[in-house]
Amino acid sequence: MEDLWDWHSYVLQKWFSTADANLLAEDIHWSVSAGYPVSQQIYSSRQTVFENFFPELTAHFSSWSAKPEQFIEAGEQVIVKGRYVGQVKHSNKPIEVEFIHIWTVHGRVITAVT
């Protein structure tokens, strides 16, 4: 039997390097903290993540990326520590903000992020 443990971090590393929509479950639960420059805190589908969340978020920046630095596996969940790096559009000021998210990977797709 294949060891899926190794796949969890692999799927997330691939997500951070490609943002491939096929790595997200159709019914993903995508939750963001209060304070994000977006219109809602919970996105309940792959479609809303790509059609609402990312366009709303990136509209505030002339450049933006998420740089993962550490992956800690805990069953189907992976804690990812990293940094958001970008440049604010209206001020041209650079930003760098640390993040820690909990991602759930099931059946080789991402099913949740908080």
CATH for 32: 3.10.450.50
Residue 5 clears pLDDT 70, i.e. is over it: no
pTM of this prediction exceeds 0.75: yes
Give the residue from 53, 55, 57, 56 showing the smallest Cα distance to 113.
53
Quote the domain boundaries for residue 96.
5-113
For the chain, what is the mean pLDDT? 94
The number of folded domains in the chain is 1
The per-residue pLDDT for 22 is: 97
Q: Give dist(CA 105, CA 44) in Å, integer.
A: 16
Q: Under a CB-based contact definition with an 8 Å cutoff, are residues 21 and 2 in contact?
A: no
Of the pLDDT bands very low, low, confident and very high (cuts 50, 70, 90), residue 66 is very high
Residue 50 clears pLDDT 90, i.e. is over it: yes
Of the pLDDT bands very low, low, confident and very high (cuts 50, 70, 90), residue 76 is very high
